[in-house]
Structure 1
């Protein structure tokens, strides 16, 4: 997975996304590794077009779908669905219209931070909102991650004071 290239592809397309998954956790200092990259995306028509065009050259296909299952990537697919777990020639990319405990792009935007990673400007979900989202999801892997994330938040707060 070429995380830097994925970020550049979305940035160059002007796509409005917020980094929310394990890569976001790593940016906050979490030790857990991840094989994919997760974004919550703005679902307005202009952004759907930007996302569709940005990923089209990288052969997006539904991850885990049987080979040969008819799937045509584009604005229509994005409009018809919500959350997409995609396999691409860049690697696995999850495009999420909303996330449990966090909502959609507009709801998460005030809880995101601006940053630069690999020289690419991006928005990343705040550590506090990441903890809340993990708690709301309640999956075993999410619950395991909360203790580490809370410790990172404590350390950050101690350094700030």
Structure 2
């Protein structure tokens, strides 16, 4: 089971530049859907990659779904060489994403809001942009969530 609270706490303590997207962001806005991982869009700046590799080193990250004996080292070099990583860690599953259909950290950072989730402050994608990202992904499971998120947005707009 993913320990969302602890992951968010570690991200904030490490000073990592990230944006919460995906199922946990949807839940923060009131979605009834459950999620088993945490989806983060991260800044690819050298300083941020260093902070990420330092924080993640204690979590023993491994490529989710990869064979158990596949050599894998998650460090600054790995982050520099790749973009998106679906990881299993000691605290649960984390999708660390440099790019998603619909944007990257730089293009999305102006569409964020500050939220407190599980008692932890975090930077979360706004609801309207979350809906756009889910539409851009084209995945059937995202299309299922869009109607609920649009209803939540409609209710918020009535206030």
The TM-score range, normalised by the shorter chain, is over 0.9
Structure 1 residue aligned with 2:67: 66
Unaligned runs of 5+ in 2: none
CA–CA distance in 1 between the matches of 2:84 and 2:104? 11
Q: For 1:73 and 1:141, how far apart are their aligned partners in 2?
A: 29
Tell me how large the CA RMSD over aligned residues is. 0.7
Kindly report which structure 2 residues correspond to 1:98-117, keeping only aligned pairs within 5 A, or say none. Answer: 98-101=99-102, 103-117=103-117
Corresponding residue SS for 2:155: helix
Runs of 4+ in 1 over 4 A off after TM superposition: none
Equivalences, count: 158
| Cα displacement (A) at 1:119 | 2.7
* 2:40 maps to 1:27: no
Aligned to 1:4: 5
Q: Which moved more, 1:146-155 or 1:133-142?
A: 133-142
* TM-score (structure 2 length as normaliser): 0.97
Q: Which residue of structure 1 lines up, in the alignment, with residue 133 of structure 2?
A: 133
Distance 2:48 2:115 in 1: 20
Match of 2:147 in 1: 147
Aligned residue for 2:58, secondary structure, equals: helix
Deviations 1:63-120 (A, max 9, x none): 000111111110000110000000000000010001102x110101011101222332
> SS of the counterpart of 1:58?
coil
Structure 2 CA distance, aligned partners of 1:127 and 1:134?
Answer: 11
